Structure 1
């Protein structure tokens, strides 16, 4: 993973110095991506929970509450976009625990002795989480189709919806990775991430914003999750989009920028890297 290079002696009679060079290209990132994917495949319980829990919530809202919320039986078409974001959140939350575990078990001290870019470890966690969550999201959409979800999207709209879902997964994963760096333990990282998991419940995921109390409706309308859900709903079901797409992409890019800067700073500070 490293290369030893002989350098010219600094003074007469001195031995050649040995300097470690960084791996070329994205070699380090590829190694850590493979490492994180391997850990994800071994942690089957976390992957199953990331799929089963949103699926159970979708079945609960569709068959238990759906008749009261929409007697026509079309509530599943309304609720699926919110369930997709819930699935992404549950799947990404494990990233915080994985990162916190790396920071507390001493393995980062081993990585610190290697000539690696500080972001390589985080890149591995983030990319593996995005791939894992895209798979889980695909399973949830498949189950939704089985229980009556009938999107009207064209192939181009499907591509746009999947791109936005992937962007949101990337954003929320970076946030959870930064939370994992900031937390003092995996348990604390799990607790801190609960706020992000709770946001979809205070949005238009399950009921229209206008049906909420005035003070809660204002928060639900202006928080980041609502425009993302409304954009996905518009792409898949043909509902009015308005300016929600611009807000959705803007919020995701802001999350990525803030989390990337915050995460890089935390990693350099905690791992002693510059």
Structure 2
């Protein structure tokens, strides 16, 4: 839709020839912005309730700068994931109002107030070695407007650490469980709580862990009923799923 077509649509709504409902549906389908190296979906938030997120891996610092510049002009909140130290520092220099978090490899730029909604999302991290993925999940969930709490280093090698936090587990609306090695923690938590459990296998582990495949298979064959599993190291995907569950359950 061109600017002229958009103006015409708004004019038709104004004079009553197009209903508000029909106009809203037309706006849902507004096109992307072609900036050469990317085609930005500025109206994804209109369709999905969440703006487009930038996947930083495989993009150069200059490409990321170009993409963020266009997104800043659109006025929404911006989240970029999978950034190394060099790319994160470059974005921090170019957009000082944002924040690069080295622990998660994310960059956040808030241009509109984030209003929390839904129940609490609890991000549970089996070990400190899994923290990068867990922090990606926590930051993503917060940027999407969810209340978030974190539990760190409560894996099955010392199950008493987890059981000491049983009240916190029961209070959560959705639980994201991040674990490497054999990936047993989501099954344990899935057997303790009524809340949806989203399991995130990480690539942490010795040789037979096969870069997270052992944890992934363990989570996929969980004895606990209803555990949902995302891809290896996909903290972002787990947070997005948790957000949708939270949104769907909102009264």
TM-score class, shorter-chain normalisation, is 0.3 to 0.5
TM-score (norm 1): 0.32
Structure having the higher strand fraction is 2
Q: Which one has a larger percent helix, Structure 1 or Structure 2?
A: 1
Whose RCO is larger (CA < 8 A, sep 6+)?
A: 1
Name which one, 1 or 2, has greater alpha-carbon Rg: 1
